[in-house]
Structure 1
Amino acid sequence: MHFLALGQDPKLMEAQGCLHTIGGIGPIFGYSLGSLCASLYVDIGLVNQDSVTITPQDSRWVGAWWLGYVVSGLLTLLAALPLWFLPKSLPENPQTSKAYHPSNEHKQTLSITEIAKDFWPSIKHLFTSGIYILHLICSVLAFNAFVISITYTPKYLEQQFGQSASKTNFLIGVMSIPPLVLGMFLSGWIMKRFKLGLLGSARLMFFTSVTSLVCIIPYFALSCENIDVAGITVPYQRTFEVQDVSHDLLTSCNAGCPDFLWDPVCGQNGVTYISPCHAGCNSTLGTRQNMTFHGCTCIQSWGLTSGNSSAVLGQCSRESSCTKMFYIYLALQSLAFFVYCLGTVPFFLISLRIVDPMLKSLSMGIFLLVLRVFGGIPAPICFGALIDTTCLKWGQNKSGERGACRMYDIETFRYLFLGLVSSLQAFSYTLLWIFTTQIKKKVQYDEKMSKDIELQYPMLRDPEQENNIK
């Protein structure tokens, strides 16, 4: 009967909702700070910002990533100061302490050997519980999808919709985090208002998870095409198709240019060239970001007969519809986050209710350890390697080794990113459905056992326990 004996404290549910809500405020500040840092060039104080010819939209732009660590580190130190003034132990109510712990008067300090004596039997008890293991696997798969989404969504939006890192981080914080926080708060309120038991919590978590998965299906239709880059996505001439990208960077109009350059310019024909040299330009006008290039012979090969074919610094802009789809994507993401977070409090309460009350602390420790090790570490590493396979143009560092990716095949990137995340979620929610059915069977069994005991021993009936099976 211990499976249903934990009860459901409304104050605990409300506290869980408020706790997760307050914890969600931090990412708003974090994304805002990241947006500010990404808009500043990395070498603050060492380089004249006016002399920088690239913009935050350029793939070579490196924001002041280190500044975020400095600011957050100082704020962490300030937050730690009040903790120094806390007492060594909190005062206890003598009456409450004796009522719940009558043996406190004769309390003895246990040795490490005595504490560790029951450790392995407790571990064995946890890992032989099928419901606990099933819940653990579901959580690991869902957490993998969550970590991939959180880690690579900014990069995905930058590549897919041509947005800068600064703008992307800011809008993610402004549009996605508030719905997430609201969902966490309402999650605790729903649990308190409807007094959901173990089965009701599992059903709520399954419903919110599947609904959030449905919300991300339209992501696949929100896409932009790769920009036209001569020698990479389009040929230098209009008369043939690109067969081998690595051999099409050089042609007769730009013979002799080093193929590792990446200093993109936009030709007046609407095609991006990876450098002025690759556009065949032979003269310049203006300085810094206002610099223009003229006499570009490769641009003339596209049918422009003007003898002064020109190009300007930077990649050519994407179609205007990309910006519109970018905001639609963020709106759908906000809706998906809100719906998914309605199951936050049930998720944590279920983790406590499916184990023996004496093993709650150990089960949560094992649960969080497995979640971080198998969900938080391998997912970003493996998916980062998969992203590298979609690179169309690699940069080169000063030592001649491969550097950062300058351009991705965004169509392959889209299907890889969205397909992997949605597949992990779908597999996780399938197991969650099986988990919910097992919970239902267990609740029905315990309910039957409870009624049998009540018939034999009517005086043992506990009215509060009936709420746990709803």
Structure 2
Amino acid sequence: MLGGAAIRQMNLQVGGMLKMILVCHVIALVLITSFLIQCPPRNFVGINVAYDNTTAESFTGLKSRCNADCDCKAEWNPVCDHETGNTYYSACFAGCKTRISNPNGDEWTDCECASDSRDEFLSIFSTPLPTMANGSSNIVNGFCTRECGWPMWIFLVLLFFSVVASFASGIPSQQIMLRVIPFQQRTLGIGVHWTFLRLLGFIPGGVLFGLMIDTTCLKWKESKCGSKQSCLVYDPELLSWTIMGVAVVCKLVSILATIIGYMTYRPNDLDSAMSVQTTDSRGPLSLTVNDDRQPAEIARQGLKKGPTNHRTIAFKPRIENHITDDASDEMTAGSPTRL
């Protein structure tokens, strides 16, 4: 809607619409950098955080001294230690021994790995650990949530305007295609346009972004046979850089194509709207663009309506020699005579 309204209000022709597309892509390219705004990452013990509360540079493994005797199965059932903000792969990998069932969800106590992490946390920060709202320090099922705050709202606003700028160039692109293609070939041009848009954009685009996102996975869910199924934990920093990188490359390609189109474009009568007679039709420009009737039908309709500018034309009927004398006398007297 914004792209169509801009074309109508500014009365843009092909050259102006190419400039508008270029401006939209540049604005979207600048706003894409909003992907660098990140929320605090979650701490997954054994995946991106070690069991001693140090940041893991690479996959550290779920096994540790605190859960070595638990014989844990690789079943994804995360539990949260609210005191340290750490999420464990499961209660077993947290070294928990006792489960307490209640209506709000299961809780776990006697968690050796969690106790070690709390001791390490105290030795680093030398501050008392906060407890849960009910005064308990037990581990509960689910993920540990971390508030993002104002960075999330800034990201959403910038992303919104980036999407608006990207899609505002859609209507100008379609208008350019309809204006530069001869009238008889426009339907074929639209078909070719959408075919290549699907083949080169929609289909490989989803696959490309999916592959890029998969490269940022830290922990995969595996089947019994050991094959990868779905990603459980992503690296948020690497994910933001990867998505931004792919989006920037796509925008740069669009900007380059727009610049080439603007440099190679040569205006004609359809663009400047100075000529009423078009190169691909014998009718007026307005009829060529907005009217689907055949030229013969248009001409007949014009004759029925009559000319817009009327002129007074004097007709001098020729009287043949066989007119009688009585008729001549009547004409001389000024009486009407049928011819």
Tell me if TM exceeds 0.5.
Answer: yes
Q: Tell me by how many angstroms 1:226 deviates.
A: 2.4
The aligned residue for residue 365 of structure 1 is 191
Q: How far does the alpha carbon of each residue in 1:236-272 deviate from its partner, in whole angstroms, 9 at most, with x for none?
A: 124x664652x53111110144352211111232211
Q: Tell me by how many angstroms 1:413 deviates.
A: 0.7
Question: Aligned partners of 2:242, 2:55: CA distance in 1, in Å?
Answer: 25
For 2:267, the aligned partner's letter is V
Q: Calculate percent identity across the aligned residue pairs.
A: 27
Question: Aligned partners of 2:166, 2:35: CA distance in 1, in Å?
Answer: 16
Please say if 1:258 is aligned against 2:72.
yes
How much is the aligned-residue C-alpha RMSD, in angstroms?
A: 3.1
The aligned residue for residue 223 of structure 1 is 38
Q: Tell me by how many angstroms 1:373 deviates.
A: 1.2
For 1:262, the aligned partner's letter is W
The aligned residue for residue 81 of structure 1 is none
> Which 10-residue stretch deviates more, 350-359 or 363-372?
350-359
Please say if 1:199 is aligned against 2:15.
yes
Q: Specify the SS of the correspondent of 2:140.
A: strand
Q: How far does the alpha carbon of each residue in 1:320-364 deviate from its partner, in whole angstroms, 9 at most, with x for none?
A: 2x1432222221222223333433321111011222222111111
Change (3 A) 1:333 1:381: same
- Counterparts of residues 231-270 of structure 1 (less than 5 Å): 231-238=46-53, 242=56, 244-245=58-59, 247-255=60-68, 256-258=70-72, 260-267=74-81, 268-270=83-85
Any unmatched runs of 5+ in structure 1? 1-183, 452-459, 465-470
For 1:217, the aligned partner's letter is T
Aligned residues: 263
Q: Point out the structure with the larger helix share.
A: 1
Change (3 A) 1:287 1:397: farther
For 1:202, the aligned partner's letter is L
Aligned 8 A contact 1:394 1:407 in 2: yes
Q: Tell me by how many angstroms 1:283 deviates.
A: 0.5
Q: How far does the alpha carbon of each residue in 1:112-153 deviate from its partner, in whole angstroms, 9 at most, with x for none?
A: xxxxxxxxxxxxxxxxxxxxxxxxxxxxxxxxxxxxxxxxxx
Q: Specify the SS of the correspondent of 1:394.
A: strand
Aligned 8 A contact 2:98 2:108 in 1: yes
Q: Specify the SS of the correspondent of 1:315.
A: coil
Change (3 A) 1:302 1:337: closer
Aligned 8 A contact 1:250 1:259 in 2: no
Aligned 8 A contact 1:234 1:242 in 2: yes
Q: Tell me by how many angstroms 1:208 deviates.
A: 1.9
- Counterparts of residues 32-431 of structure 1 (less than 5 Å): 184=1, 186-220=2-36, 222-238=37-53, 242=56, 244-245=58-59, 247-255=60-68, 256-258=70-72, 260-267=74-81, 268-287=83-102, 289-304=104-119, 310-318=138-146, 320=147, 322-397=148-223, 400-431=226-257
Aligned 8 A contact 2:77 2:90 in 1: yes
Aligned 8 A contact 1:265 1:275 in 2: yes
Change (3 A) 1:404 1:191: same
Instruction: State the structure with bigger RCO (CA 8 A, min sep 6), 1 or 2.
Output: 1
Q: Tell me by how many angstroms 1:416 deviates.
A: 0.5
The aligned residue for residue 24 of structure 1 is none
Question: Aligned partners of 1:293, 1:205: CA distance in 2, in Å?
Answer: 58
Q: Tell me by how many angstroms 1:286 deviates.
A: 2.4
Q: Specify the SS of the correspondent of 2:117.
A: coil
Change (3 A) 1:447 1:354: closer
Question: Aligned partners of 2:42, 2:110: CA distance in 1, in Å?
Answer: 23
Q: 1:443 aligns with which of 256, 267, 281?
A: 267
Q: Specify the SS of the correspondent of 2:85.
A: coil
Q: Specify the SS of the correspondent of 1:281.
A: coil
Q: How far does the alpha carbon of each residue in 1:83-136 deviate from its partner, in whole angstroms, 9 at most, with x for none?
A: xxxxxxxxxxxxxxxxxxxxxxxxxxxxxxxxxxxxxxxxxxxxxxxxxxxxxx
Aligned 8 A contact 1:198 1:353 in 2: yes
Q: Tell me by how many angstroms 1:400 deviates.
A: 5.0
Change (3 A) 1:400 1:287: farther
Question: Aligned partners of 2:38, 2:238: CA distance in 1, in Å?
Answer: 11
Question: Aligned partners of 1:338, 1:210: CA distance in 2, in Å?
Answer: 12
Change (3 A) 1:370 1:360: same
Any unmatched runs of 5+ in structure 2? 123-128, 130-135, 276-281, 287-339
For 1:233, the aligned partner's letter is N
State which structure, 1 or 2, has the greater radius of gyration over its C-alpha atoms: 2
Question: Aligned partners of 2:42, 2:268: CA distance in 1, in Å?
Answer: 59
The aligned residue for residue 47 of structure 1 is none
Q: Specify the SS of the correspondent of 2:233.
A: strand
Change (3 A) 1:366 1:303: closer
